[in-house]
Structure 1
């Protein structure tokens, strides 16, 4: 058994679970003993989605799992009750984490480090109490991390809360280009900055400043300047180890039951299908869902639309316009959830209308599928800036307006949706050719990063050497103590 024991805490949201679990598997494949920790609420949903199968029990590496309470009952509806969920993460979960750490220490082997999602507020205190290194794992783009990390500069320059002209440029974030308000994460666009979410973000980044290492699910060659500036500003080793993607066909950690769309896709021409998904967390207004549905119909392009049941709210039913399913039955397919990697890797899929979640972006880039950007909240606005303006691998759908209460404040109408989809899905058009050329270049960079000698591979091995070296030093000190 490995002498290095890493305890990896997954944040209880789907978009965070996927890269964290894949990081845990990578570490375990390198001979590290990993205890991966999931909350009871998330675990129950994953088990239900997989009809009783435990994905954490199907791993050939040196991994084991543990459960921890987030401070709420297991069957509590976290999607419908955001305030109670946020309050539990901020004020209740730490007590249960401490209990789990004590239990793991008693059972052994000794804990070498904790690896925690950056959005947890307690890692620095837990690490100090148990005398172990704290590794902060950032699941989003480094540009977003830098913006949050330099929150103080937004305050100093009068841009938080933002009361000036919304077109005024923010040109002082180290390593970032000049940004508009609508390029910032949505929580930094809001006028009310006293919410529980804002408190969580503030306290989480205060904790991250005390980390011993920061690992990031990005690619150094794509965000090199931002990473270099953060290294200088923070003095903390900041290592990109991405993309951390679920391999096609491998058992995943989805909180929704997945539909199998392969037979439907098999009957469609190459690059003809538009795949649409708003991710696992973002909410969309019911009027926007209706406009999107009618825009898809008018576009006359084949589509697969992932429409999870709580995309408006978990207590809202009848999401689609009357008659939509019947009218679109020969054109498209509406499902609650899919294996996104499996769909994007199918040859009939030619484009991805995405909310610009970071996992979705990395998967789309890795599989060479251009994107139609429709950001909804949090980091997605900044991610949209990256993929549309900097990397040129996506088109924007509609004018990007200021976020309001985690919803786009401007409705994108069906006519614009239909026209944009037609242009985007035209493989022979000038825009289509440009996007596919650019995405090929970015994909090559990503592939190179994870090969032997690539930046992500080297960074991961450097981190593992740090853990092994620290463990050897600790063992030597203990041996010296016992000899005396």
Structure 2
């Protein structure tokens, strides 16, 4: 029996109409998640309780800030309340404000700041915190978090499926393009993979500079270009003539299986927005990164992979405006020059990056092996859950 056959799923309303454009209205969407979604989730929980089997564990992301008081208020504390955070950010040297998570703006009255503040406060009610990182990579940060919170904190990363059985349907929010035949025709370590994730938006002006910078680099590229990368109501954002001029150099796709692309031998590097999942996937598959953070924790993640772990090169100056987007364009000339430098695997910087990536891979692989830190941490958490269950139903 596969694990999938044991998992049931259910849709829950976020309090907004189904046809509401969440991408175009991020403030209204955030407000709904904070103030409107709670009763719908509570209704689902009550329905599940009636149908059985009884709920014994709640797993929630820290940014669903109402989860703690909704699920625990007036209810039995025999439930285990588990928070998941995507990653931690170690630093052995001082961090300047522009590199610190969520601290780039002065206005603390915004909805985003309310959610962030409440998320950190709600995490204090958790019975356990697990994180998609590795003890050996984030030891000091984990030690400080445990000391300050008093809550068990377990690193169980990297958490993802690094291969997909043949015939299995993808779970991406966008339809995936199959780029393998195009990649198969490219020499080993010759292609730059570029993707800015599934959520962050980029200005049309910066998309133009990025497109022309990639073109001017004269290096092969595979660029994931989401339909809503600028906004859901903004189409045709690429420069006029770009697709025709780049057809012999690069490939533009709406969405791809990122693990398939990163594991391909022709890919030499990953131009990334520094989302934590992308970082973990890139490192696990041995691909150095060209860091281009866009918002929130991506700036701290950028510092971590560039300055601390030495597995990435930075693209452009880190800067943000009040709406969490870059306020300074990275010009095409800088993009082109940096891409050329980054993709020179025989150069000194290229060799250093690849050596550092190799060291991190070994740490990650040891962590998930039998007896490794992540494996042990996961087993410890499972034992904790079993103990709680046995105490409820002796």
Q: Distance between the aligned counterparts of 2:123 and 2:108, measured in 1?
A: 20
Residue 379 of structure 1 aligns with which residue?
297
Residue 206 of structure 1 aligns with which residue?
121
Q: Distance between the aligned counterparts of 2:177 and 2:170, measured in 1?
A: 13
Q: How does 1:12-23 map to 2 (within 5 A)?
A: none
CA contact (8 A) 1:377 1:403 kept: no
CA contact (8 A) 2:270 2:282 kept: yes
**Following TM superposition, by how much is the alpha carbon of 1:70 offset from its aligned partner in structure 2, in angstroms?**
1.1
**Following TM superposition, by how much is the alpha carbon of 1:403 offset from its aligned partner in structure 2, in angstroms?**
4.2
SS of residue in 2 equivalent to 1:115: strand
Q: How does 1:452-467 map to 2 (within 5 A)?
A: 452-467=370-385
Q: 1:142 aligns with which of 59, 83, 88?
A: 88
Is residue 2:353 matched to residue 1:435?
A: yes
Is residue 2:138 matched to residue 1:223?
A: yes
CA contact (8 A) 1:181 1:402 kept: no
In structure 1, stretches of 5+ residues that fail to align are 2-27, 30-58, 145-174, 477-484
Q: Deviations over 1:109-132 (max 9, x none)?
A: 111110100111112113313322
**Following TM superposition, by how much is the alpha carbon of 1:253 offset from its aligned partner in structure 2, in angstroms?**
2.2
Residue 157 of structure 2 aligns with which residue?
242
Residue 68 of structure 2 aligns with which residue?
124
* Root mean square deviation, CA, Å: 1.5
CA contact (8 A) 2:213 2:336 kept: yes
Q: 1:83 aligns with which of 15, 27, 43?
A: 27
Residue 186 of structure 2 aligns with which residue?
268
Q: Distance between the aligned counterparts of 1:292 and 1:281, measured in 2?
A: 18
Q: Distance between the aligned counterparts of 1:93 and 1:402, measured in 2?
A: 29
SS of residue in 1 equivalent to 2:10: strand
Q: How does 1:57-96 map to 2 (within 5 A)?
A: 59-60=4-5, 62-96=6-40
**Following TM superposition, by how much is the alpha carbon of 1:83 offset from its aligned partner in structure 2, in angstroms?**
1.5
In structure 2, stretches of 5+ residues that fail to align are none
Greater CA drift, 400-409 or 286-295: 400-409
CA contact (8 A) 2:80 2:385 kept: no
Greater CA drift, 371-380 or 72-81: 72-81
TM-score normalised according to structure 1 size: 0.78
Residue 16 of structure 1 aligns with which residue?
none
CA contact (8 A) 2:92 2:308 kept: no
**Following TM superposition, by how much is the alpha carbon of 1:77 offset from its aligned partner in structure 2, in angstroms?**
1.2
Is residue 2:383 matched to residue 1:468?
A: no
SS of residue in 1 equivalent to 2:274: coil
* Count, aligned residues: 388
SS of residue in 2 equivalent to 1:352: strand
CA contact (8 A) 1:246 1:252 kept: no
Is residue 2:80 matched to residue 1:133?
A: yes
Is residue 2:257 matched to residue 1:342?
A: no
Deviation above 3 Å: which 4+ runs of structure 1?
A: none
Q: Distance between the aligned counterparts of 1:206 and 1:72, measured in 2?
A: 26
Residue 311 of structure 2 aligns with which residue?
393
